[in-house]
Structure 1
């Protein structure tokens, strides 16, 4: 089947026991167990989200989505881990996972197992649970600038304005030659068409 189950966890007939990790960070890019895709995990507005950041076979479509308007949407950049909240006292996040094989949402947890493995478990109606281990292929991701700005933090390179003072507008820096311009981490580029997943419409527009 051309469009593989990127999350690769449901109805798998068992899973490896989750291993606790100290100061674990689930963010970064992870290769799913069968190697068909990478999932980029980042903290967006207080929750962990994951989206497809690379496909072994480019050009996949969400053909099994029950919503007819989404059947032709690209699977690259599609959210797979949905609004996952940290559980108190342990390095585990729970929320939902989107199963691209049948277009359905399921309950799921993610748990780092050391620095370079991520255990993911999904369940259908609280039973028939299965899971697998993803392998890290990209470093942890700093908090998205979009989140900081949403919380009212100053933009990078600006200082707080003192009461009763005025600040002169800084002159714009000269533009670098195009040939020397490189995309900053998280920005879209030819090599990384997904960029900061917190800015993807599906994630940025999620209603909390």
Structure 2
């Protein structure tokens, strides 16, 4: 159940909300609450998307997806946060989250908390909400080069700023599973098997 735990935020029981002290950019790489994976969040054609960019146990598969054709797809690079739009008047984005525990999509919100944490909250039919807090492990990233010319897409902001300090200890890494923080959008290196998530077929096909 490699990625089932961190996406099991939907029916997680009681959830204590944290009040954001400072508006922050939700893009970048985030360590999920139990440390089993990183999720890379980027703005793709005006919406926020998140995809698995690193796993503690490589080789995970979407085995709980009810669609038989998707049961063998890799969890690395799989979209978790889906087409999230900014909520007017708030530093919050609304869209859908994919729950690998049951292979279903649920309504969800992401809310930056300061510069190094982000709340992820998902709900079933508008109630039975649960959530968790993710910790930043990679700096905010510029808008995708693949979407720079897209209508309505924000312009690239330039070089990514320096990453904020991270309080939580990083999960163990080996070889190609090292942190993806140094990856440049649109590029893949020996330590980055995902690169610019806006170029992933699942996201590019939806956004364009």
TM-score tier, shorter chain, comes to 0.7 to 0.9
1:179 corresponds in structure 2 to none
Deviation of 1:151 after TM superposition, in Å, equals 3.7
Q: Tell me which structure has the larger Cα radius of gyration.
A: 1
**SS of structure 1 residue aligned to 2:149:** helix
CA–CA separation in structure 2 for the residues paired with 1:152 and 1:23: 22
Task: Name the CA shift for 1:152/1:25 in 2 (closer, same or farther; >3 Å).
Answer: closer
CA–CA separation in structure 2 for the residues paired with 1:11 and 1:196: 30
Instruction: Report 1:47-86 matches (<5 A).
Output: 47-86=47-86
1:149 corresponds in structure 2 to 149
Q: Is the 8 A contact 1:86 1:92 kept in 2?
A: yes
Q: Is the 8 A contact 1:82 1:95 kept in 2?
A: yes
Instruction: Report 1:162-201 matches (<5 A).
Output: 184-201=184-201
Deviation of 1:68 after TM superposition, in Å, equals 1.0
1:171 corresponds in structure 2 to none
CA–CA separation in structure 2 for the residues paired with 1:23 and 1:152: 22
Task: Name the CA shift for 1:3/1:93 in 2 (closer, same or farther; >3 Å).
Answer: closer
**SS of structure 2 residue aligned to 1:83:** strand
1:5 corresponds in structure 2 to 5
State the TM-score, normalizing by the size of structure 1. Answer: 0.81
Stretches of structure 1 that go unaligned for 5 or more consecutive residues are 157-181
**SS of structure 2 residue aligned to 1:66:** coil
What stretches of structure 1 move > 3 A for 4+ residues in a row? 182-186
State the TM-score, normalizing by the size of structure 2. Answer: 0.81
Stretches of structure 2 that go unaligned for 5 or more consecutive residues are 157-181
**SS of structure 2 residue aligned to 1:69:** helix
Deviation of 1:19 after TM superposition, in Å, equals 1.7
Deviation of 1:59 after TM superposition, in Å, equals 0.2
Task: Name the CA shift for 1:147/1:15 in 2 (closer, same or farther; >3 Å).
Answer: same
Q: Is the 8 A contact 2:4 2:99 kept in 1?
A: no
**SS of structure 1 residue aligned to 2:202:** helix
Answer with 46-55 or 64-73: which moved more.
64-73
CA–CA separation in structure 2 for the residues paired with 1:151 and 1:49: 17
